[in-house]
Structure 1
Amino acid sequence: MLTTEQLNHYSTHGFVVPDYRLSDEVLASIRTDHDRLIVQHPEFRDYCPTLLAYDLA
């Protein structure tokens, strides 16, 4: 739920920056999964689909 202050900010500016964060445990789990993916598929180490969609030359 948004606080009154957040609702007022949204009414004035049209956006709200959420004040939540991922826990250290969730971030550690993501890092572990990512590391395992890179070990199994090193070809994805530098993969960035946004950049590959454009010709950067």
Structure 2
Amino acid sequence: MELFAVKKGIPIQNEVFDWEIQQLDSIDKECILRLHKWEDRQRSLLAIVLKLNDTLKRH
């Protein structure tokens, strides 16, 4: 999933995070900081899903 910051919001392919876009139209730096946090969360979730998937395949 590609994420990129723009001046007045952040296009994200997941509607769950649409509410965050409203919060982020003031400061670009804040946008980018939040994006990094979001990416970290996404990476953590992905790691968990892959681990579960791997575990399920073995059984």
- Please identify the structure whose Cα radius of gyration is greater: 1
Which has the larger share of helix?
2
Per chain length, whose mean CA-contact separation is higher, i.e. which structure has more relative contact order (CA < 8 Å, sep 6+)?
2
TM-score by length of 2: 0.34
TM-score by length of 1: 0.35
